[in-house]
Structure 1
């Protein structure tokens, strides 16, 4: 069955073109917040191109998370969050790569997803917090620069508590944010996620220190590259916005699939409220939250916010197609080659279908009646493709 429609992305600005020289945002500084200077006058930055309706595809941690190789048959054999992973992803038709940034004890932004890093010494497993390491200590894990020698072997802990040696077919050394700017193809933009520990309470002073350490590298090495920032931490997202106005800031949320003490993290409605209060430009939602309540797409767009999604369901091209139909602005994916190829194919077909589908979809999404943006046959087809969505 062919799914026919066209996205309603014209409602809000897109995130495909966000060069510093193309963007302008109102200043959010107050008397208690001093911006970090980066040599740009925001009054001269120009305006975003609102006519670009391109559906955005981002590579998750570059060419995909290594976690999938332990939970599916589709192995991702390149070490995630490394220069090799980023440059491999850049070979395909995607606009951004997404990666995680933490700051070492001595103030250096590094690329690593997990809060803790594991190694083994004399048969004993050693666990350390990434942010407690110096840069030299951090870089001593895994393969060393210019060599296949491993100073400290890397291990990894799964969510279910299992710990395994972190082995991939195409390994690479750990890297810094500066390394990424200097060595990754200029053809791709960066979605820089600020990574913090959900189980810790941070003071604003500590958050600002981390944010400014990252911004110093960004402003020095960006050189016109497309950049956006994102974070699951509400206070972090708002502080990033206060510390700079050159780049867009998105709030990451799982849309309520997990419940946190901070209510701002527990629903898409709260995410919208946070973005509007803090002057953020968009939301990156777990895809299931959007598919369970597609009418939130219209609500997010009515709030003049962009919408991206993440999650393993985004590795199914049919799921990505459905989001394209419903007006989602883009997706973060692990299977970069497969999804970029699929998007290139169905985007041509959709544009050929004409404006009548756009008007129909807008009417469906904005209707006050409780209807879905797709026909019952289309929804039934979709449910057969992804039964885990319905039963989870």
Structure 2
């Protein structure tokens, strides 16, 4: 069933810019922000001034069945996870926002919350819970209070306990603004169910609830919206012009009824027709189809990627060489260190100081170097190596 198209021309632009929101927010924050200027095409001219590293769901997503302890070290999409990521030289954190039945934006990835009661497992849709019901799952903020068991369904359908080394309570979008390091950028993914047809009035209500919190609490924090839902992407761009909107896409690694979601070429069309500023693609599709990067650049769109390969430093460096502007990663510490070593050039005085220390045998980490011919060969080879 295709997602219902929304006629954004019928939706009035809100542009509810708060008094404390700087219209030069992005151009003045080159360390963590982005640069935007309005043009005559109703689409902001958008430029990311540096290679961005974005923490996936904060410090990294939870893969509870993984043998890698790093994938279940800290509860994803939590205040603890966000502030843990902030300890590293990271630019943004990415997290998923849904809106409860009583119009409160909360941070949670899955469409359903799973729990257990008297030996029976049940699930409830996050958007059908009121805020108080949502917050009663998992660890509780109130000392001595015990929350309901929080379970999770793995990709292969197994139900497992949501056990992590460092747990934390569920949180709202407002709490994230109030409790997370204020210089850390927020990549707010507008989360919707792939299998639900959304009516226009529902999408508008949800987006307005999220924008209200953003406008009231963002202050000077860099903000970037993204979503897999094409109509939501078009609407949030229509409802405000302060913050950039990126269209999330699997790029064809997974097929949907809505053709707008099935290729990078379709993603480009969505962005150009709706005045969006960029694309966030599954990294495998970019490696399979490196020519799409050129098309995206020619369309003057920015490009970020997500996916497991972004936890491999060499794959991240290849993207930097290809002109991709940033990566969303799970292994925040490892990838920020790799980016610092391979991409960001050392300062001259720091390099001289290192060479002068010790017995003269100190070695600096050298970034990989590729000639244009070698890079061309690698780009031709990678699509053959990346399998569906």
Q: Tell me the TM-score normalized by structure 2.
A: 0.82
List gaps (5 residues or longer) in structure 2.
1-6, 28-34, 36-45, 349-368
Deviation at 1:109, TM superposition (A): 0.3
Which deviates the most, 36-45 or 300-309? 36-45
Query: Who is 1:73 aligned against?
Result: 68
Counterpart contact for 1:29–1:35, Cα < 8 Å: no
What are the within-5 Å matches in structure 2 for residues 249-260 of structure 1?
Answer: 249-260=245-256
Deviations 1:143-198 (A, max 9, x none): 00043753201000112111101011100000000000000001210000011111
Residue 273 of structure 1, aligned match among 269, 272, 275? 269
Deviation at 1:376, TM superposition (A): 2.9
Query: Who is 2:192 aligned against?
Result: 196
Deviations 1:302-330 (A, max 9, x none): 10100000001100001001001110000
What are the within-5 Å matches in structure 2 for residues 1-392 of structure 1?
Answer: 32-39=11-18, 45=24, 48=27, 49=35, 53-67=49-63, 69-76=64-71, 77-147=73-143, 149-348=145-344, 374-376=375-377, 390-392=386-388
Distance across 2 between alignment mates of 1:45 and 1:376: 41
Distance across 2 between alignment mates of 1:303 and 1:322: 22
Query: Who is 1:11 aligned against?
Result: none
Counterpart contact for 1:57–1:95, Cα < 8 Å: yes
Distance across 2 between alignment mates of 1:288 and 1:113: 22
Counterpart contact for 1:111–1:175, Cα < 8 Å: yes
Distance across 2 between alignment mates of 1:176 and 1:346: 36
Distance across 1 between alignment mates of 2:163 and 2:208: 33
Instruction: From the superposition, tell whether residues 313 and 298 of structure 1 become closer, same or farther in structure 2 (CA, over 3 Å).
Output: same
Query: Who is 1:20 aligned against?
Result: none
Distance across 2 between alignment mates of 1:253 and 1:289: 10
Larger RCO, structures 1/2 (Cα 8 Å, 6+ apart): 1
Deviation at 1:75, TM superposition (A): 2.7
Distance across 2 between alignment mates of 1:43 and 1:126: 45
Distance across 2 between alignment mates of 1:135 and 1:202: 21
Distance across 1 between alignment mates of 2:20 and 2:162: 45
Instruction: From the superposition, tell whether residues 375 and 82 of structure 1 become closer, same or farther in structure 2 (CA, over 3 Å).
Output: same
Instruction: From the superposition, tell whether residues 53 and 123 of structure 1 become closer, same or farther in structure 2 (CA, over 3 Å).
Output: same
Counterpart contact for 2:47–2:302, Cα < 8 Å: no
The SS at the match of 1:348 is coil
Instruction: From the superposition, tell whether residues 46 and 210 of structure 1 become closer, same or farther in structure 2 (CA, over 3 Å).
Output: closer
The SS at the match of 1:150 is coil
Instruction: From the superposition, tell whether residues 191 and 117 of structure 1 become closer, same or farther in structure 2 (CA, over 3 Å).
Output: same
Instruction: From the superposition, tell whether residues 47 and 313 of structure 1 become closer, same or farther in structure 2 (CA, over 3 Å).
Output: closer
Distance across 2 between alignment mates of 1:101 and 1:172: 17
Instruction: From the superposition, tell whether residues 148 and 89 of structure 1 become closer, same or farther in structure 2 (CA, over 3 Å).
Output: farther
Which deviates the most, 293-302 or 51-60? 51-60
Counterpart contact for 1:38–1:220, Cα < 8 Å: no
Distance across 1 between alignment mates of 2:378 and 2:130: 56
The SS at the match of 1:98 is strand
Aligned-residue CA RMSD (Å):
2.7
Deviation at 1:73, TM superposition (A): 2.2
Instruction: From the superposition, tell whether residues 317 and 47 of structure 1 become closer, same or farther in structure 2 (CA, over 3 Å).
Output: closer
Deviation at 1:126, TM superposition (A): 1.5
Distance across 2 between alignment mates of 1:377 and 1:270: 26
Deviations 1:193-220 (A, max 9, x none): 0111111101010000000000000000
